[in-house]
Structure 1
Amino acid sequence: MKKLYNIVSKLYDTEVPAQGLALFRILYGIVFLMEVLQLNYFQHLIFDPIPYIAESEISFKFALIFWLITIICFILGLFTRISSIINYVLTFTIIAGLDKFEYHLDYAMTGINFLLMFVPTGRAFSLDNLLAKLKYSIPQKIYEPKTTTSMLSYYSLVGLGIAMVYFDSMFYKLASPMWLKGLGFWWPTSLPFATYLDLSILLNSKIISYGFGFVTLVFEGVFLFYVWNKKYRNILVLTGIGLHLGILHAYPIPWFALAAAGLYVLLLPYEWWTILHNKLRSKTPTLTIFYNSDSLVDVRCMLIIKHLDFFGKIAYLPLSEAKATLKEVPEEALIADVHSINSSGKVFVGLATYIEAWSRIWFLWPFSILMRLPLFNTLAKNCYQSIASNKFEFVPATNMGITPISYDSVSILKDFTVKDFKVRIIAFFTIYCIVSQGYIIMYKGLLVTNILEAIHVNGIVRGALSKFHGFAVFNQKVFGITSHPVFMDKVHFNGYNHIVAIVYKDKNGQETWLPLNNEKGQVGPYITGREWVEWSFRSNSKNVSQEKLKDGLIRYSAFWASKHHVSLAEKQTFVVKVKKIDSPTGWEDDFLHRQMAKPWMDVGQVIWENKEVQVSIPEIEKL
């Protein structure tokens, strides 16, 4: 325990630039925004017993809109701490309850969102930093917020977000004949219902197919133990990014692939972000603005423009340096109106200065065009004159200039500071996570199960571990610590020998394929992420449950009909088609194309009339 405490304390004290953490906030926030946007689009499919017909008792419409606004604030770094807390609460209350539509990204997001409540992601590339500058800066004294963070901020997200996930996954893969034979890439990617791209050019190469499979197996096995060592980190980062970009192209789980790839940003060398930022900044500013350092209004305008000018195209100089450049401008005019000069020597006064500044900031450029139009220009000039004529009446509040302090050195007890308390909590949580994941591995890990069965103690051990099942449920819902039997032959693919599609037939006999599976059997736009998992492995599965399939047929046909303005009050017919495919036992050349070419059979119907439904399908497993 003392050794762990010393390690945590050392990492806590090691300050590194916060730019990488901020970039992760932006990338992860965008991915999470896409996930919630998708959840919002499919909310009736997910939450309604029968989409748009028997609606959910609780409407999630406004909660999801509020969630989207919260995520946008998080991406912008606006009220970052508050938005992170709200984000986690909504993750816990909404996503954690999606039993039928849950998938493995949910648990990774739960763990990450939990940590984001405590990790200072708003110390760079954020509006929070700007607000802090505006709050604490006064004339002649500019406040610069802290732009570094503890190394623990990076390591904690990597540890809970991917390292523990890979480690747990190994206890399934090492008990999987598919993975042990090197078919972990080839097998799923050769099944039409599991992919939306035809990657036969890779699949038909035995070396590539086996290579990708074995590399993934070895990579996940060593990641947890070697990623903390700088000697091996770069090769692991490159492999990990390549792995998840491959998942992005091969399988219909894009947000999982991008979220995991985004975590690797945290493992790139910290100094890269400073170097990259300096490379992107202009060496020679194209506009120089002279501001009155005695005016609170001028100081605040300067702080806003400088903060938003990411590429450094604008320079700010105090008024005292304007006399040498703007010799012909009277001092009274310089004080009354803000002046600027561009690289060509052209001088801009008042509002024109800010229009020029906006034109150099890419996301404000449209507003600079708008401000040049007569109506908007007149309104903007009136607004500018109103502020400029009274700018010396704005005086700092009595509490301005009093900068925030760090509480780490504050004593709670004798020889026990806030920092000591934090380090102990972090050390305890680290042990808790390790023990929790260890319990999950012992309780559910397929490799452990096989070993226990071989020595004839599986029943005894499982019986003892089952008494703590509530502990596992708590960790899954609160911290996202769970088992990860993803892409497994025994669970998902072995014996999966059919693909089910739904086709709408209108009154003229014209057929429209619902965007679940296309004519080749590959996935369509509707089944991405959680919808793919639900349709392919719950409504369908390698061993089809007729009741679950009927529920899926009703659910997806009703949802599609409402989205495409097909009235279910009138008689509507949906044809159920089945494509029988082969279940492989080893690598085969051109296997995917042969499955795509298999014929479809019309096996049943879903008939809607007066918003009531009749489903007629045979037992799929007997076809």
Structure 2
Amino acid sequence: MNRWLARLLDTRVPALPLALFRIGFSVVMIIEIEQMYRFRRLLFDPMPYVIESTIPSGPLLLIWLAAVLFLLAGYRTRLAAVVHYVMAVIVLGFGALPHGEDWQGDSLILTLSLLLLFMPSDRVLSVERLMERRRRAREKVKDPGPVDVRLIHTVFLYLTIGLMYLDSAFFKLSSPMYLSGLGVWAPSTLPINAYHNVSWLMSQEWLVRPLGYALLAFESLFLFLYPVRRLRLPLLAVGALFHLGVMFVFPIPVISLLVLALYLGLVPAGAYERFTRLWRARAVSLTVYYDRLCPLCRQTVAVLDALDLRGAVAWKPLQDHAAEEPQLAAIPEEELLHDIYAVDRQGRIHKGVDTYAAVLRTSGWLAPLGWLLGVWPVHPVAQRIYGAVAEKRAREGGCRDGVCSLARPGAPAAEPAPHRGPGRLARPAAGVLLTAWLLSFVLIVPAGPLLRTYVTGDGALANRLENTAEYYKSRVYPWTGWTSHGVFMDEHFVNYRVQTMLVFEREGREPLRLPTIRPDGYTGSYNSGRLWELWTFETVKPELPLDQVERNMSRFVTYWAVRNGIPLEEGRILILQRPMDVTLDRFRRDRLADNLSQPWKEVGAITGSPGQLKVSFTGEPGNQSGLYGPRS
């Protein structure tokens, strides 16, 4: 173990995959926080707009968003990672957000947020890297070139997804639905899960059963196959296709996006290098001549050169190379030193602001800024600013060009020796985290059904193991996200006999459907991501306590009514339900279409005004006596 750990700490790999993971994860978190902020009254308030949350959810989420934006940019990255982790623990771990206890996306967010505390994910593609290049240019210290990181950071990402897949596979190996090859088909044919109509695909039994078995094999084997170098890209490609499919079919896009962001950190750096060759420039399109005795010029060159991802711009000190350029021969040296000049492939000369506009256009991805810099009124304003800076910029070596230094830099700084070995605390900390993670996995597995199904049976030993696992999860989950991963299992759907819809009815007006369901019967805008979990599994799922059903229905109704100015006292909310076939282990062609074609029946109503709503059921089959449990 110690030798293996030493190898992980001593082996260096390119830093690009970690940086792409940081960027991808940050983008997904922006999407997730945006949804939480937009629906914060529904998610945080005990009763939206009536009984407010005891925590300031709006400011809390804005602080979290600010930390994620810093993380995305790679600026003050370590501090941003700490703030992000603290926010995740408060909101998702310790329940400032009082919903989504089984929301699998939160488990991934917590685990990846913990790892980001220790990952050097800002070594490339970050503001801090640009600032480091700028500092080195100012002090005339040579840039070290490509940056690398320790292999162990990639291993932690690999363990995150590998152990999650393996635990999920353990659940599936005890599931009649998955063992019959219908684990992909069955959930997609239930309207409560359907985000898009894929009946044309799910009606092909010859296809869906192999897909179900392939999913089971993929999750079972990923942890063991990914270390085989030749299999990494094919495995990640298969996983990406699977998660893109999940994102299209089911209303849980954030979970798939989190996994795809994690995959960015697992793609070998060599694959990225081969990909970048496809769009790198084949030849230099623009040559820029800059004053190497000007610290500001060197810093600007260092930053713009880093942003030129196509490699289409060549930067040359004019003192050494201007004489080689025929197009500049007629320009006096004083003018060359006063303004920055560039020559493009067609021989055209660019000067001052126009040089920077040409650089931005040539870089490709910054071309819109280059075009903007060349149009009125931006161009004259930029020219005025550039002229003021050019007149006052500091130079080393006196006033040869008539521009005197305002500040003379000291002696060039010595280049620091690179520190290649792990720090004193790196090995013990990595060893503790790895050991705790693997032991936690062994302790948590008994909370799933695998041991009970194949080893212990339903006995006292099984109960003790499960209770121990549940107790352990409750202690470590808020800090680490380590938990069980029973996603889309039989018990989630086997008793889900009806789909529920709420419709506001008032005399003389068109009925208004609450947007938990679209007019075509698929999940609506109030029914995606963690809102889907809140509605589908904490509000209308069969066998929930009746008072929980009433309370959460009232919350959805109150939020919708207040936000949209709906006068509830002028009508009533109808509770409509329609039956669903939820057979999970027997294939039935066109089942989604059949489920969607079932008629709606009124089973209850919600009346009153926000804060004083009353939920009542009719007493017919499919109501509280046949669908929901007793009051808790």
Q: What TM-score results when the alignment is normalised by the length of structure 1?
A: 0.91
Q: Distance in 2 between matches of 1:351 and 1:232?
A: 49
* Cα offset, 1:187, TM superposition: 0.9
Return the match for 2:63 from 63, 66, 71: 66
Q: Deviations over 1:187-216 (max 9, x none)?
A: 111111111111112221112111111111
The match for 1:415 is none
Gaps of 5+ in 2: 396-404, 628-632
* Cα offset, 1:170, TM superposition: 2.3
Q: Distance in 1 between matches of 2:475 and 2:611?
A: 40
Instruction: Indicate yes or no: 2:49 matched with 1:48.
Output: no
Return the match for 1:425 from 405, 426, 429: 429
Tell me: CA distance 1:469–1:209, structure 2 relative to 1, closer, same or farther (3 Å). closer
Instruction: Indicate yes or no: 2:30 matched with 1:28.
Output: no
Tell me: CA distance 1:611–1:267, structure 2 relative to 1, closer, same or farther (3 Å). closer
The match for 2:184 is 185
Q: Distance in 1 between matches of 2:566 and 2:159?
A: 48
The match for 1:323 is 323
Return the match for 2:339 from 337, 340, 344: 337
Amino acid at match of 2:436: Y
The match for 1:121 is 121
Q: Deviations over 1:320-375 (max 9, x none)?
A: 21123110011111111111122221212222212222333456444444444554
Instruction: Indicate yes or no: 2:263 matched with 1:259.
Output: no
The match for 1:436 is 440
Instruction: Indicate yes or no: 2:564 matched with 1:557.
Output: no
Superposed, which structure 2 residues align to 1:460-499 within 5 Å?
460=461, 462-463=463-464, 466=467, 470-490=471-491, 492-499=492-499
Return the match for 2:35 from 31, 35, 38: 38
Instruction: Indicate yes or no: 2:402 matched with 1:401.
Output: no
The match for 2:614 is 614
Report if aligned partners of 2:140, 2:412 keep a CA contact under 8 Å in 1. Answer: no
Tell me: CA distance 1:515–1:362, structure 2 relative to 1, closer, same or farther (3 Å). farther
* Cα offset, 1:478, TM superposition: 0.9
Tell me: CA distance 1:467–1:188, structure 2 relative to 1, closer, same or farther (3 Å). closer
Tell me: CA distance 1:369–1:245, structure 2 relative to 1, closer, same or farther (3 Å). closer
Report if aligned partners of 1:130, 1:304 keep a CA contact under 8 Å in 2. Answer: yes
Secondary structure at 1:348's aligned position in 2?
strand
Q: Distance in 1 between matches of 2:625 and 2:363?
A: 61
* Cα offset, 1:379, TM superposition: 3.0
The match for 2:72 is 75
Q: Distance in 1 between matches of 2:14 and 2:25?
A: 18
* Cα offset, 1:47, TM superposition: 0.3
Greater alpha carbon shift after TM alignment, 223-232 vs 194-203: 223-232
The match for 1:282 is 281
Q: Deviations over 1:566-616 (max 9, x none)?
A: 245x53422211111222151111111110100011222222337521222
The match for 2:202 is 203
The match for 1:446 is 449
Q: Distance in 2 between matches of 1:203 and 1:29?
A: 34
Gaps of 5+ in 1: 410-417
Secondary structure at 1:285's aligned position in 2?
coil
The match for 1:57 is 54
Q: Distance in 1 between matches of 2:291 and 2:388?
A: 17
* Cα offset, 1:551, TM superposition: 1.6
Q: Deviations over 1:283-315 (max 9, x none)?
A: 223322111111101101111211222222322
Amino acid at match of 2:66: I
Secondary structure at 2:278's aligned position in 1?
helix
Q: Distance in 2 between matches of 1:552 and 1:483?
A: 26
Superposed, which structure 2 residues align to 1:36-185 within 5 Å?
36-96=33-93, 97=95, 98-102=97-101, 103-138=103-138, 140-144=140-144, 147-160=147-160, 162-185=161-184
Greater alpha carbon shift after TM alignment, 291-300 vs 510-519: 510-519
Instruction: Indicate yes or no: 2:385 matched with 1:383.
Output: yes
Secondary structure at 2:87's aligned position in 1?
helix
Amino acid at match of 1:328: A
Amino acid at match of 1:84: A
Return the match for 1:360 from 342, 348, 362: 362
Report if aligned partners of 1:359, 1:365 keep a CA contact under 8 Å in 2. Answer: yes
Amino acid at match of 1:509: R
* Cα offset, 1:488, TM superposition: 0.8
* Cα offset, 1:276, TM superposition: 2.2
Q: Distance in 1 between matches of 2:303 and 2:4?
A: 40
Tell me: CA distance 1:130–1:48, structure 2 relative to 1, closer, same or farther (3 Å). same
Secondary structure at 1:501's aligned position in 2?
strand
Secondary structure at 1:515's aligned position in 2?
coil
* Cα offset, 1:110, TM superposition: 0.6
Tell me: CA distance 1:467–1:170, structure 2 relative to 1, closer, same or farther (3 Å). closer
Secondary structure at 1:289's aligned position in 2?
strand
Amino acid at match of 2:453: N
Q: Distance in 1 between matches of 2:469 and 2:512?
A: 50
* Cα offset, 1:505, TM superposition: 2.6
Report if aligned partners of 1:28, 1:259 keep a CA contact under 8 Å in 2. Answer: yes
* Cα offset, 1:175, TM superposition: 1.5
Q: Distance in 1 between matches of 2:490 and 2:554?
A: 28
Report if aligned partners of 1:70, 1:86 keep a CA contact under 8 Å in 2. Answer: yes
Q: Deviations over 1:213-252 (max 9, x none)?
A: 1111111111222221224334322321222112112211
| Identical-residue share of aligned pairs (%) | 26
Report if aligned partners of 2:18, 2:265 keep a CA contact under 8 Å in 1. Answer: yes
Q: Distance in 1 between matches of 2:92 and 2:607?
A: 32
Report if aligned partners of 1:515, 1:525 keep a CA contact under 8 Å in 2. Answer: yes
Tell me: CA distance 1:612–1:316, structure 2 relative to 1, closer, same or farther (3 Å). same
Q: Distance in 2 between matches of 1:45 and 1:440?
A: 32
Tell me: CA distance 1:555–1:467, structure 2 relative to 1, closer, same or farther (3 Å). same
Tell me: CA distance 1:561–1:360, structure 2 relative to 1, closer, same or farther (3 Å). farther
Q: Distance in 2 between matches of 1:370 and 1:355?
A: 8
Q: What TM-score results when the alignment is normalised by the length of structure 2?
A: 0.90
Amino acid at match of 1:40: Y
* Cα offset, 1:403, TM superposition: 4.7
Secondary structure at 2:512's aligned position in 1?
strand
Report if aligned partners of 2:43, 2:98 keep a CA contact under 8 Å in 1. Answer: no
Report if aligned partners of 2:174, 2:453 keep a CA contact under 8 Å in 1. Answer: yes
* Cα offset, 1:257, TM superposition: 0.9
* Cα offset, 1:79, TM superposition: 2.2
Tell me: CA distance 1:188–1:400, structure 2 relative to 1, closer, same or farther (3 Å). farther
* Cα offset, 1:114, TM superposition: 0.6
Tell me: CA distance 1:381–1:507, structure 2 relative to 1, closer, same or farther (3 Å). farther
Report if aligned partners of 2:137, 2:302 keep a CA contact under 8 Å in 1. Answer: no
Secondary structure at 1:267's aligned position in 2?
coil
Amino acid at match of 2:532: W
Secondary structure at 2:277's aligned position in 1?
helix
Report if aligned partners of 1:137, 1:400 keep a CA contact under 8 Å in 2. Answer: no
Tell me: CA distance 1:622–1:462, structure 2 relative to 1, closer, same or farther (3 Å). closer
Tell me: CA distance 1:267–1:328, structure 2 relative to 1, closer, same or farther (3 Å). same
The match for 2:398 is none
* Cα offset, 1:126, TM superposition: 1.6
* Cα offset, 1:519, TM superposition: 4.1
* Cα offset, 1:462, TM superposition: 3.5
Q: Distance in 1 between matches of 2:380 and 2:229?
A: 59
* Cα offset, 1:428, TM superposition: 2.5
Secondary structure at 2:143's aligned position in 1?
coil
Q: Deviations over 1:92-144 (max 9, x none)?
A: 11122234224001011111111111111112222211011112333654434
